[in-house]
Amino acid sequence: MPSPTTEDSAPQPAGIVERLVRDDTDRKRFLKMAGGAGAASFGAFVLAACGSSSKKATTAPATASTSASTGVKGDLAILNYALTLEYLETEFYGKVVASGLFNGKTGALIKDFGRQEATHVEALKGAVEKLGGTPAAKPKAKFPISSAGQVAQLAYTVENLGAAAYLGQAANIQNPEVLASALAIHTVEARHAATLGTLVKKPVTPQGAFATPADMSTVLAAVKPFLA
């Protein structure tokens, strides 16, 4: 397992994901950098966004030490990306429960999903800290909560997006423990989505036999309307 970076040297993405969501220039810059290099380029982007010397990072010799450091930074960035999405999901379910639109078995199910998303938040925060990073700040969120049918459809969409987001980053994760944690959450997101699919009479496997991953551009564009 790579040696953790110190908190001072680790990326501080408490706002970088929101910045990517809100700023088309930053998003395009990220996508250009990340196009063919996965987590390593993501780590370089985070360093640049935080004011570190990107020239030094990109021109340093490719030693085992610098490679390990880049891998940790990339994993931290992905973890904080996932954490931001989980914050939003937790906030969403909290608002749905508070709305009182659901009761009985469906209401209990929604509460269970909310508790599980909150557990994901704590697990991801712990993973970030274990690698020596600082967990992303919780973003301010807004969700349209108008009717039970509308909310159930939105929940189905949100959960499918979450599952696709984890799948989209799986190949970029360097640390086997981080990958195992991400996949453990991914499968729960997918099960949430499938359960909600039965509720709203939508396909439980929208893409058929193989799930389609979502790249960061797709996910960021989808969550942008939910940031206050």
Residue 12 clears pLDDT 50, i.e. is over it: no
Residues 159, 25: Cα–Cα separation, whole Å? 28
For residues 146-175, give the mean pLDDT: 96
pLDDT in tens, 178-212: 999 999 999 999 999 999 999 999 999 999 999 99
Query: Does domain 16-226 fall into CATH 1.20.1260.10?
Result: yes
Cα dihedral 56/61/64/67 (nearest 10): 40
pLDDT in tens, 64-85: 566 667 789 999 999 999 999 9
pLDDT of residue 216: 86
Picking from 142, 141, 156, 150, the residue whose alpha carbon sits closest to that of residue 109 is: 156
Each domain of the chain, given as residue ranges in start order, spans: 16-226
pLDDT of residue 2: 44
- pTM for this prediction: 0.74
Alpha helices (H) along the chain:
16-22, 24-34, 38-49, 54-59, 64-99, 104-130, 148-169, 176-200, 216-223
